[in-house]
Structure 1
Amino acid sequence: MNAIKPGETFTYEFTATVPGTYFYHSHQESAKQLDKGLYGTLIVEPKTGEKVDRDYTLVLDEWMSNPDEGHIDMNGMDHSNMHHGNHSDDEQMNMSGMNHDMSMYDLFTINGKSGSAIEPLKVKKGERVLLRLVNAGYMSHKLHLHGHDFKIVATDGQPLKDPQSIKDELLNIAPGERYDIEFVADNPGKWLLECHGDMKGTDGMKVKIQYEGETGKADKLNAKEKLPIVDITKYGKNELGPFTLDQKYDVEYTMDLGTEMGKNGMIFTINGKTYPETKPINIKKGDLVKVKMINNSPTDVHPMHLHGHFFQVLSKNGKPITGSPLMKDSLNLEPGEEYVIAFKADNPGNWMFHCHDLHHASAGMVTEVKYRDYKSSYTPDPNDTTNKGE
């Protein structure tokens, strides 16, 4: 679709068939527009199933107290051709002025507020509470739920098999990821859900869990305490999922994620190329697709996000995962990590596969999943200079 210009409207209708916690945002100069708050959540509730007593959605983000320090110039970054695969020979990515220094984000927020301004989560003793955690920012956040056991019941909208109780472990949520956690309010008091870390804005990312009628002492902060981090690849009951490592696949693709110094600043590459020069994953409907992703960036974390499909995570660093069958649409790769994922080509179109640190995507870390047997009815307006996708 063309960019929606000021004063215009665009109506998109669809049938919500997959329950879960989702997230929508602009892909028009997205690093800039998300920084200004152009995103939201989409909750698809199941038709049936046991209801919880409280259902809270918490959106994590980072902001700059001095936006001038974090100015990002993305003039000329035109990815609008992604939807039809017609790249001009002279199309280039302009990274001039790109600033990837995350220290400029010095205010961490939950639902747009920070610190004491964040509204408490009210509960009553005995209630089942669901927290939908959405990372709309560019940094990973490690969250600690004080005073309670909890279970991770879903990630990226997909349920986990037989989740076990966790206590005093950190849940690391990468950009673009969503985690649904559930706990029973069985420990009256004033507790915290807080971010752990040493960034300047960390102290602002904490929310109180307030039992109704409880007037006891407030919980103590412990954001500097070293706690174990949940390994989601080892979590839940291990059983056979829809894909295996050794089955036959129609398409296999290796995605080598890298960081280089370009002419105008840092660039982020897939197999040594930046979009639109990255080789697409060419498939047809019904194909079984296996992708190996390797993060060869020395220090950069890459949360990779696939549009239009869920994939199963099959292995981590060469070893099969041992937890629940893990279906996701976003997967975080730390430096040096390697994952193998698989998905079925069941949603014809041309789809982005990109890093959800949108600074990295804007500086090149984007490829496409392209269906050979799909022809788009979309024709871009050649005179529309506002189309600056991604």
Structure 2
Amino acid sequence: MDNGKTVDAWTFNGSSPGPELRVTEGDLVVVTLHNKDIEDGVTVHWHGINVPCSQDGIAGVTQDAVQPGEQFTYTFVASAPGTYWYHSHQMSSIQAKKGLLGSIIVEPREPSAPLSSATDVSALYQRMDSTVLLNGSAKGLNVPGKAGEQVRLRLTNGDNETMNFSVDGAPFQVIAMDGHDLHEPGLLDGDMIPVGAGQRFDLLIRLPESSKVVVRSESAKSLPIMLGSGNEPERTEGGKMFSFIDYGTPLKDDPLRMLKPDRNIELRLGQSLFVKTINGRSFHEIPPITAKEGERLLISIANDGGGDHPFHLHGHTFRVLSKNGIPLKGSPVFLDTLLTKKDEIYEVYLVADNPGLWMAHCHNLGHASMGMSMMLNYEGITTPYRVGTKSGNLPDL
């Protein structure tokens, strides 16, 4: 690493993070994974991209782990623009931390006028051997720019812990969460932005006249993101936490108002001794959610304790309806990873529109490896693959 430390890293194309993949909305994406020497096998999961189930990269569910000397080709259409990332889902808690991750950005085919001229910057955070890295570096990131120019900063949390970001030197907007645009986002000034493990937040910042803008996280103090030129601004202390409950504005003709769920489901995230649980059970003991194609599900997700639980659902985007019984009053919020804190309860709305067998788990991958992992299965769909030590497919280890 560029701080003088040496670590045993696993890489894509010789680097960690792997190459940033930039594609355009509607592109057919073809990626061939060659395993040179990862003894336990490897896969690639496209986090947040609603790929066909066969391309989801889950060892033992959608494919066998790719063994040394073997290869697997992933093919999917980049149907939705946004900020996403990829990582191995074979022994994910180990392999992602070892370095098998990277960013994938789907650019819109027709970018909106205010954003088409913005400087586009990706900032992927990961933790390797207890050191937090930014775009693979143990140093900060400097982005030059002139006063009046705009920067679109794509923050991706590839660590297992929540990262709280501050923005000093200029007001800003949160324009997208998990790759999905927010409607008419307002200006924020001094707010702290909590980004859960696996989540992505896009910030839009207009560079000021007299100073730089500095974006930093307490968990990555030595990794400031410096935007623009001039002097460093004073640090913001104790800003209020950003909340999407009343951020932005609602849609005038919101189709959700006309839709009713077909079924209600409750998921309670907790722990029992050293086991992380969903509804008091872990791993294969957790009954899967079984859905019919087209079914509309209202899912209650409650964090009963044991830390932050960023709940990630593969293959789908869900809409957040309420937090602690309070309906969202601002922009619609569509996510694939929902950060939940102790005693919080969320209601989310999910349309079962992507048939397959899908993982749903805490994206603190250590928690997933301790049992907080289950399945969303569609009726009539099976797999020839198997999870377990005999098959060598261990997606959550």
What is the aligned partner in structure 2 of residue 227 from structure 1?
A: 239
Q: 1:36 aligns with which of 98, 103, 127?
A: 98
2:137 is paired with a residue of what secondary structure?
coil
- For the pair 1:288 / 2:296, whether they are aligned, the reply is yes
1:210 aligns with 2:254: no
Letter in 1 for 2:160: Y
2:335 match: 328
Corresponding residue number in structure 2 for 1:317: 324
Match of 1:255 among 267, 282, 285: 267
TM-superposed deviation, 1:386: 2.5
2:45 is matched with none
Change over 3 Å in CA distance of 1:195–1:156 after alignment to 2:
same
Structure 2 counterpart of 1:386: 392
SS at match of 2:96: helix
Q: 1:243 aligns with which of 237, 245, 256?
A: 256
Distance 1:383 1:146 in 2: 49
From 263, 273, 287, the equivalent of 1:279 is 287
Tell me the CA shift for residue 375 of structure 1. Answer: 4.1
Aligned to 1:347: 354
Q: Is the 8 A contact 2:244 2:328 kept in 1?
A: no
Q: Deviating runs (4+, > 2 A) in structure 1?
A: 61-64, 186-191, 216-222, 238-244, 373-376, 378-386
How many residues matched?
A: 330
Partners of 2:110 and 2:321 lie apart in 1 by: 30
Alignment of 1:112-261 (within 5 A): 112-114=136-138, 117-196=139-218, 201-211=219-229, 216-221=230-235, 225-239=237-251, 241-243=254-256, 248-261=260-273
Cα offset for 1:383?
9.4
TM-score by length of 2: 0.79
Per the alignment, residue 15 of structure 1 pairs with: 77
Which residue in the other structure is 2:344 paired with? 337
Opposite residue 285 of structure 2, the aligned amino acid is: E
Higher relative contact order (CA 8 A, sep 6+): 1
Which residue of 2 is the match for residue 87 of structure 1? none
- The answer on whether the counterparts of 2:157 and 2:195 sit within 8 Å (CA) in structure 1 is yes
Contact 1:251–1:290 under 8 Å retained in 2:
yes
The offset of 1:242, in angstroms, is: 4.2
Assess if the C-alpha contact under 8 Å between 1:109 and 1:204 holds in 2: no
Cα distance in 2 for partners of 1:285, 1:13 equals: 22
What runs of 5+ residues in structure 2 fail to find an aligned partner? 1-62
In structure 1, distance between residues paired with 2:387 and 2:279: 31
SS of 1:276's partner is: helix
Q: Structure 1 residues 144 and 337 mapped into 2: Cα distance closer, same or farther (>3 Å)? A: same
Go from structure 1 to structure 2 and tell me whether the alpha carbon gap of 1:242 and 1:32 turns closer, same or farther (over 3 Å shift).
Answer: farther
User: CA contact under 8 A between 1:136 and 1:176: conserved in structure 2?
Assistant: yes
Give distance in 1, aligned partners of 2:158 and 2:355: 27
Is 1:305 matched up with 2:318? no
In 2, Cα distance between equivalents of 1:191 and 1:288: 43
Equivalent in the alignment of 1:110: 134
The partner residue of 1:6 within 48, 68, 76 is: 68
Partner Cα distance (1:53, 1:331) in 2: 28
Q: How far apart are 1:217 and its partner, in Å?
A: 3.6
Contact 1:19 1:44 in 2 (8 A): yes
Amino acid at match of 1:204: S
1:86 match: none
CA contact under 8 A between 2:141 and 2:223: conserved in structure 1? no
Alpha-carbon distance in 1 for matches of 2:277, 2:323: 21
Q: CA deviation at 1:118?
A: 2.5
- Alignment RMSD: 2.0
Deviation sequence 1:98-146 (CA, Å, 0-9, x none): xxxxxxx3x32211222xx223112122212100110000111111111
Deviation at 1:186, TM superposition (A): 2.8
Letter in 2 for 1:273: R
Percent identity of equivalent pairs: 33
- What do the CA deviations read for 1:179-203 (whole angstroms, capped 9, x no partner)? 111111233433311113xxxx542
Q: Does 1:48 align with 2:56?
A: no
Residue type of the alignment partner of 2:133: T
Q: In 2, Cα distance between the equivalents of 1:333 and 1:381?
A: 28
Change (3 A) 1:158 1:351: same
Distance (Å, rounded) in 2 between the aligned partners of 1:137 and 1:241? 35
Instruction: State TM-score, norm by structure 1.
Output: 0.80
CA contact 2:99–2:128 (8 Å) conserved in 1:
no
Amino acid corresponding to residue 394 of structure 2 in structure 1: K
